[in-house]
Amino acid sequence: MDGRVAVLASGTGSNLQALLDDPSIGPHVVLVISDRADATALERARHHRVEAAHLDPAAHPDRAAHDRAIRNLLRERDVDVLVLAGYMRLLGPGLIEAFRDRIVNVHPALLPSFPGTTAVADALAAGVKVTGVTVHLVDEGMDTGPIVAQEAVEVLEDDTKASLAARIHAVEHRLLPAAVRVLREGRLVVEGRQVRIDEGES
């Protein structure tokens, strides 16, 4: 595999930017897809002369058809690795099966705590002292796939959602590129729920 990377993003795309700026990943990002026409992520892609595609869920009769459109484009562009970077929709089973163990998602909490789309607010509301970032492989569930990497972020007494999210983002921008790098290099070994990095011969 050549390690061609596609990124799915719905919003700002700061994680996409971190991937584009990483010299070992940026040149391999061949496609960015968004479900939203106004996603800043699409602008970031165009700015880097990476193909930017808006695939509108409303333009397809159902989720399966939208999923098929994504899968067809990934296949046409010969994509090996798929990164969900702030993609706010669940992928369908066909797409997940086609890219089994080759899709990663970045999540702003230490899974399995606080899955879902409001993880930073949920952590604050729960009063936890430590939250963090998880990069995981994507399976059919919501934020349930095998964990590739995690890093803790301390919750400070005077944290707001914005201040905590900012520190979480800074960690995401390191952890996600590091995980994508090993996935591209085919060095992720998945055994059930356990994921380890093949360090090669020493």
Chain residues in the site for ligand GRF (CB under 6 A): 9, 11-15, 85-86, 106-108, 169, 172
- Cβ closer to ligand GRF: 62 or 111? 111
Q: How far is the CB of 61 from ligand GRF (least distance, A)?
A: 27
Closest residue by beta carbon to ligand GRF? 86
Find out whether 111 and 143 touch, Cβ atoms under 8 Å. yes
Q: What is the DSSP string of 51-107?
A: EEEE--GGGSSSHHHHHHHHHHHHHHTT--EEEESS--SPPPHHHHHHTTT-EEEEE
Q: Which of the following is catalytic: 107, 136, 169, 173?
A: 107
Q: Which is it for the CA torsion 145, 147, 149, 153, positive or negative? A: positive
CB of 143 to ligand GRF, least distance (A): 9
Is 107 one of the catalytic residues? Answer: yes
For ligand GRF, which is the closer residue by CB, 85 or 95?
A: 85
As a dihedral over the C-alpha atoms of residue 81, residue 68, residue 88, residue 42, rounded to 10 degrees, the angle is 70
Instruction: Give the number of other Cβ atoms within 10 Å of residue 68's Cβ.
Output: 15
Min dist CB 88 to ligand GRF, Å, is: 8
Nearer to ligand GRF, 42 or 182 (CB): 42
The set of catalytic residues is 107
